[in-house]
Structure 1
Amino acid sequence: MTHPAVNSLATYGLFAAWALHDAEELATGPRWIREHLPVLRKRFPDAPESLWSLMESVDEREFAVAVGAMATIVGAAAVAGHRSGGRSGFYQGALGGFGLHGLVHLGQAAAFRGYTPGSATSALLVVPFTLWARGRLRRAGVLRPTRPRDVLTGLATAAAATVVSHAVARGLTGAPRF
């Protein structure tokens, strides 16, 4: 049962915050990438060609399916968090990864020196929600201590979930594999 300090907003709110954030990415992502790829290539000439090829290859359909696959992962984490009263390692890891991925979006916007897909909701929703939810978990006494390796694990897990989501999308849409 959920601890009173860890209400449904702190657990299912992860999914809601993620959905709003990914709606921004769905609305802006593939088109923004197509329009800004030449600028990105010029600004970051040392980035590997495979990165640019991968970015060019993602179309709106694949991106939408990948978001759907990620919805399954984030939704499962939110349910695990709710059922465990916020104690679930899966939920806490997903929450941490969500917040860290928001910081990555903000870093991308800073490196680009302008708007990048996901940066608006990262600043207004992802990072604030993560801090708020972690505060609820802390007050309930269920937040696991965060060690430096947890930060790396959270980033790696978020990246892996993204790769898996796109692999699923490529499999379902028949897009070429890399």
Structure 2
Amino acid sequence: MEQWLNVQTLIWLFPIIFILHDFEEIVMIEKWMKNHTNIIYEKLPRKMANRVIKQFSMSTAQFSVSVLVIFLFVSFSTYMASQYVNHHSLANIHFFTVSIMVFFLHIFTHIGQSILFRSITPGVITSIFIVFPYCIVLFNSLMTNRIISWNTIFASLPYVILIIPIVLIAHWIGKKAV
């Protein structure tokens, strides 16, 4: 597999894998939220359920705008990682590492939601069958080729939390833009 999936290819697959995953979410989110509001209130504490409903109750168009905003970050981190591998300007592997770590951890939120709600949730299918294998292969390749190390991962880990405001702002932009 390594012969046809070099590091550059794997890095540039990130925006494509991201879009495949988010298309599943875009297609499902509006209808799923409408059909599962009662279950969300049954399974979650009232305050948490209110936050989830408020955060994710948006039209397909609004959610698409949110995904576009996040896609811009994904694309920029991909470009910087590609530059890092080629030793060019705007090179930075840490932003990419943080983005990939968030994407990887995001898989488990989908799996947890599906277990909690006993339902196929938006994003769970691509999380299991596309995102998880991609992230494993990508991390393995980045580490094998010494582009990142465990030190890079540990140094980037605290910054994962900084992605949350970006996602919240993206959702806000989506709701305001459409």
Deviation at 1:78, TM superposition (A): 1.0
Runs of 4+, deviation exceeding 6 Å: none
Give the partner amino acid of 2:60.
Answer: E
Q: State TM-score, norm by structure 2.
A: 0.83
Task: Tell me, yes or no, if the aligned pair for 2:94 and 2:156 is still in contact at 8 Å.
Answer: no
* Equivalence for 1:142: 147
From the superposition, tell whether residues 55 and 94 of structure 1 become closer, same or farther in structure 2 (CA, over 3 Å). closer
* Equivalence for 2:114: 109
User: Are residues 1:17 and 2:9 paired?
Assistant: no
Aligned length: 168
Give the partner amino acid of 2:64.
Answer: A
The DSSP-based 3-state class of the residue aligned with 1:48 is: helix
Give the partner amino acid of 1:78.
Answer: T
Question: Hey, what's the Cα distance between the residues in 2 that align with 1:49 and 1:128?
Answer: 31
Q: What is the root-mean-square deviation in Å for CA atoms of aligned residues?
A: 2.3
Question: Which structure 1 residue ranges, 5 or more long, are not aligned?
Answer: 174-178
From the superposition, tell whether residues 53 and 123 of structure 1 become closer, same or farther in structure 2 (CA, over 3 Å). closer
* Equivalence for 1:176: none
User: Are residues 1:98 and 2:103 paired?
Assistant: yes
From the superposition, tell whether residues 42 and 73 of structure 1 become closer, same or farther in structure 2 (CA, over 3 Å). same
Task: Tell me, yes or no, if the aligned pair for 2:43 and 2:116 is still in contact at 8 Å.
Answer: no
Question: Hey, what's the Cα distance between the residues in 1 that align with 2:163 and 2:79?
Answer: 18
User: Are residues 1:133 and 2:138 paired?
Assistant: yes
From the superposition, tell whether residues 115 and 52 of structure 1 become closer, same or farther in structure 2 (CA, over 3 Å). same
CA deviations 1:73-121 (Å, max 9, x no partner) are: 1111111111111861111111111111112211111222221101111
Question: Hey, what's the Cα distance between the residues in 2 that align with 1:56 and 1:135?
Answer: 33
* Equivalence for 1:80: 80
Deviation at 1:65, TM superposition (A): 0.8
Task: Tell me, yes or no, if the aligned pair for 1:97 and 1:157 is still in contact at 8 Å.
Answer: no
CA deviations 1:16-73 (Å, max 9, x no partner) are: 1101000100111111011111111112244435315414641222111111111111
Question: Hey, what's the Cα distance between the residues in 2 that align with 1:141 and 1:56?
Answer: 39
Task: Tell me, yes or no, if the aligned pair for 1:103 and 1:127 is still in contact at 8 Å.
Answer: no
Task: Tell me, yes or no, if the aligned pair for 1:105 and 1:116 is still in contact at 8 Å.
Answer: yes
The DSSP-based 3-state class of the residue aligned with 2:149 is: coil
Give the partner amino acid of 1:18.
Answer: F
Q: State TM-score, norm by structure 1.
A: 0.83
* Equivalence for 2:166: 161
Percent identity for Structure 1 against Structure 2: 19
* Equivalence for 2:69: 69
